[in-house]
Amino acid sequence: MEKIKIGDNLPIHCYKHNGKLHRTWDDAIVLEITDDVLVCGNHKTWITEADGRSHKTKEPAIIFFYRDKWFNIFAQIKKDGLFYKCNIASPFLIDGKIIKFIDYDLDLKVFHDGGFRVLDKNEYKYHKKIMSYSEELDMVVKNGLEELIDIKKQNLYPFKEEVIKNYYNMYKNLTE
């Protein structure tokens, strides 16, 4: 694995199960890296979709990638509060200083009031069928969603405002 360090600026590549590139983010500043998690931050970064459309993010995000969990978490710092967009996805890997993961459609959207909703169930069913997800993969994905919901319900790391504030301050210090 490429040696990465705090302050490195890495792009993010999100794939689908069939190996096709789904979405990219131009940059993510490394804030912390441990045996379990890679934490990054970005703001006003370009996102490019598979169809070529692109846009810049409007708000800062603190991003949590896990080595052995089937999800990643984007904490979005918006004017009206802290939101989380959580992707059910493969554990990340670093390939040539690019953060890579496979997205499995299901998302957990967490609202600033703490409420949450599972999104994209139909998209998951569709891709499961056309990309022939195995029963084992289906179970791993569903277990990842259950684990993520349990972590949210208990408001464990990283679903704590002070955690996001601390990482955001680190991000600001690294980018000023």
Which residues are part of the catalytic machinery?
23
Instruction: Give the CA diameter of the chain.
Output: 48
Q: Which residue has the tokens 């195995």?
A: 134
CA distance 11 to 6: 14
- The amino acid present at 2, given as its one-letter code, is E
Range 157-161 contact pairs with CB under 8 angstroms and sequence separation of 24 or more: 158/39, 158/62, 158/64, 158/73, 158/75, 159/84, 159/110, 161/82
Contacts of 81 (CB under 8 A, 6+ apart): 111, 112, 113
